[in-house]
Amino acid sequence: MNDPIYLDHAATTRVADDVTQAMLRALGPGFGNPSSRHPLGTDAAASIEEARRKVAAALGTRSEGVLFTSGGTEANNLAVIGMAQSLRLAKPGSPSGHILIGPTEHPSVRASAASLTEEGFEVEVMELESGDPRGSLNIQRAAEQMREDTVLVSLMLVNNEYGTLYDISRLARAMGARAPKAHLHVDAVQALGKIEIDPAALVGGGISSSFALSAHKIHGPKGVGALVLSNACLDAGRMPRPMIYGGGQQGDVRPGTENVPGILGFGTAIAMATSDPGATTAKLVAVRKALEAALSEHVPSARVLIPWRDDAASTAAPQVVSVLVPGAPSEVWLHHLEAVGVYASAGSACQAKKQDLSPALLALGLTSDEARRVLRFSLCPSTTSGDCYEAARRMRPVADTLAHLTSAPSEA
């Protein structure tokens, strides 16, 4: 058996050794409850505040805007549901407010928004630019969809299934003109540690915004993340309405005894992942180009969905290379790839458990047959060009076996 080559970092990453060490301290000698008044408690509280400062520093925001959560899913729920509820329009007899979400959002955003329709909110989905293979958002149409009663706009920064990098700045400018009081939520889970996330530069100071983050995508532990409120959001005095109630921790916006080991691990992971964003992005781009080149050499029948471009019109995030493969459905490809030690995924890992086709792939204009034949390769900063070349080389015989097979029979 070949040594496995792990190209599924958008699903999760290996916990870094320094992160494990930080967590072990909190599991061992630093076991105190941060709410306790004795030194074990105050030390734990101080270490949490240190981690909060690290998360804030990574995004250039203030510490009081960092709300630790159980991960990206909860951060998205808290932002979408909590912010919409806190900005709910109070006119009796009128709808609670209008919400716009991106067309390829993670289920944690889509389902959160859908749940709000039961409370009288109206939810509309933005559109991709029709006929644009780069998968960009139709900003002009989004601007037209914005209304006076729009309370929330939610768009991911990097798509998890095929890595489109959305133009948050243009969307924020459109909001400035059309819906300046609305809150902009950005699911930045797949962007963190791959490209710089600077809310002040991305969104500007005029629009209140928030960012969902998850530790396990950046060599941190699973089950911890954060919702980061921008300085503009804090200045506007906005806080999401709590979704759980408890004993006052985190200003009672997200109470519950803090996950100290997870939070300390996250703090260490985010400091490592964001220490030199320019260099990290450049490294990922170089390796990504190597993967695209190796695929075109060994599996020329595979088509990269959002290819890298060296110009400003590029919409590809550096670390995700999704390809449309010929013949057999992605599940069959994955089994064959697994057998030769190449670990990837079909679309997104979260989608893999669901039978339905990915709305994000369909939004990109793929037919249902094509949407069943997408493989996602995702990199981390320590993936090498050699790993990518070897993975593509191992794919060649798999392609020879599978390319002539047909995908799922029906278009149902």
Interface residues with ligand PLP (CB under 6 A) are 71-73, 76, 106, 108, 156, 160, 187, 189-190, 214, 216, 225, 350
Buried/exposed 72-102: b ≥16 CB within 10 Å, e otherwise: bbbbbbbbbbbbbbbbbeeeeeeebbbbbbb
Query: Shortest distance, CB of residue 108 to ligand PLP, whole angstroms?
Result: 5
Contact 372, 407 (CB under 8 A): yes
Contact 117, 171 (CB under 8 A): no
Query: Shortest distance, CB of residue 104 to ligand PLP, whole angstroms?
Result: 9
Query: Shortest distance, CB of residue 401 to ligand PLP, whole angstroms?
Result: 30
DSSP 54-83: HHHHHHT--GGGEEEESSHHHHHHIIIIIH
Token match 């992942």: residue? 273
Based on CB atoms, which residue is closest to ligand PLP, 288 or 394?
288
Annotation marks residue 233 as catalytic: no
Cα separation of 191 and 197, whole Å?
7
Cα separation of 42 and 47, whole Å?
9
Based on CB atoms, which residue is closest to ligand PLP, 96 or 160?
160
Catalytic residue among 233, 350, 380, 388: 350
* Residue 409: burial class (beta carbons within 10 Å; 0-12, 13-18, 19+): exposed
Based on CB atoms, which residue is closest to ligand PLP, 96 or 190?
190
Based on CB atoms, which residue is closest to ligand PLP, 108 or 145?
108
Query: Shortest distance, CB of residue 160 to ligand PLP, whole angstroms?
Result: 3
**Rounded to the nearest 5 degrees, what angle is found at the Cα of 76, between the Cα atoms of 16 and 7?**
40
Query: Shortest distance, CB of residue 322 to ligand PLP, whole angstroms?
Result: 13
Based on CB atoms, which residue is closest to ligand PLP, 190 or 259?
190
**Rounded to the nearest 5 degrees, what angle is found at the Cα of 238, between the Cα atoms of 140 and 263?**
100
Q: Which sequence positions are flagged as catalytic?
A: 350
